[in-house]
């Protein structure tokens, strides 16, 4: 397993992130984009790759969030698939290990219909993704994806076992999943891991600090990562109002790294 964290997209701040990543002996940076992905240029991607190469840092993953690739609205679907096409291209330029996006969503259509739509509109990209040396991971719970339950992933994997999940135990727990059971049963399907902490008190989420400072059972998570021989990235995600501030962001990455290293060999 390798350790990294989610980078800032601004090039100046990316330079600082890459320097910090190298100084801390971490392996890679993740890039995530929502609606603004459509405004990215080849020149920006090449500049980002130059920063990574300068500090000998990998691109752990490139994420395209929120676009509905299987929308029943033809114009919306076409726009989303155009960005999906750019995701594959840009992922190749960055040397991304994993491409992350949603599976598309047709609310109310049922799982079978959503998997059918995935097969029609997203599956044709799978050979190109594989040929480029990437893996595809679908995020869970939110962001225009039908993969909002364990049952949805099970239905998807019956037809497309090569598609993975971007697993974030904190998100799964917050959405009401039994994330330990999911890891126990489906840990072999994990393509990419986020390390994000949630701290609950009296049933409310009150902080999102460094790993080990909250309510997620990380020892049990890593039990099943090891049992399923996970060999991908562990990407620390600074999150929440306080732990994304400049005075706590790098501190949270460092503290999270120190905590999860106890579970690594």
| Residue 49: CATH number of its domain | 3.20.20.150
Output phi, psi for 30, to 5 deg.
-105, 145
Burial of 242 (0-12, 13-18, 19+ CB in 10 A): middle
Quickly state the pLDDT bin for 128 (edges 50, 70, 90). Answer: very high
Query: What is the domain range of residue 148?
Result: 2-263
How far apart (Å, rounded) are the C-alpha atoms in residues 86 and 257?
A: 32
CA 132, 11, 42 angle in degrees (round to 5)?
A: 40
How far apart (Å, rounded) are the C-alpha atoms in residues 192 and 199?
A: 22
pLDDT tens per residue across span 175-208: 999 999 999 999 999 999 999 999 999 999 999 9
The per-type count for the chain, helices as H runs and strands as E runs, is 11, 10
Report the percent of the chain where pLDDT is more than 70: 100
**Half-sphere exposure of residue 93, counting CA atoms within 13 Å on the CB side?**
19
Q: Is the dihedral of CA 9, 10, 16, 22 positive or negative?
A: positive
Question: Where is 63: in which H helix or E strand?
Answer: strand 58-64
Q: How many domains does the chain have?
A: 1
Q: Which of these, 168, 115, 114, lies nearest to 139 by C-alpha position? A: 168
139 close to 105: Cβ distance less than 8 angstroms: no
Rg (CA), the chain: 18
Quickly state the pLDDT bin for 1 (edges 50, 70, 90). Answer: very high
pLDDT tens per residue across span 143-159: 899 999 999 999 999 99
């Amino acid at each position: 397993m390798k350790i990294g964290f989610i980078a800032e997209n601004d090039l100046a701040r990316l330079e600082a992130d890459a320097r910090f990543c190298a100084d801390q002996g971490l392996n890679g940076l993740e890039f995530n984009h929502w609606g603004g992905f459509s405004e990215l240029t080849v020149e920006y991607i090449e500049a980002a790759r130059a920063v990574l190469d300068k500090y000998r840092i990998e691109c752990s993953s490139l994420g395209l969030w929120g676009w509905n690739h299987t929308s029943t609205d033809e114009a919306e679907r076409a726009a989303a698939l155009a960005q999906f096409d750019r995701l594959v291209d840009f992922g190749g330029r960055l040397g991304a290990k994993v491409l992350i996006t949603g599976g598309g969503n047709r609310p109310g259509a049922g799982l079978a219909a959503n998997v059918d739509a995935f097969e029609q509109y997203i599956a044709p990209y799978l050979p190109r993704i594989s040929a480029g040396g990437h893996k595809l991971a679908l995020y869970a719970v939110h962001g225009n994806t039908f993969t909002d339950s364990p049952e949805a992933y099970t239905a998807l994997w019956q037809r497309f076992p090569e598609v993975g999940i971007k697993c974030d135990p904190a998100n799964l727990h917050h959405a009401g999943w039994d994330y330990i059971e999911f890891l126990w049963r489906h840990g072999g399907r994990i393509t990419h891991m986020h390390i994000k902490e949630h701290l609950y008190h009296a049933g409310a989420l009150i902080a999102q600090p460094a790993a080990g400072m909250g309510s997620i059972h990380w020892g049990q998570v890593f039990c099943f990562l090891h049992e399923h021989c996970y060999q991908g990235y562990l990407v620390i995600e600074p999150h929440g109002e306080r732990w994304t501030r400049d005075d706590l962001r790098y501190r949270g990455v460092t503290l999270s790294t120190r905590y999860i290293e106890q579970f690594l060999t």
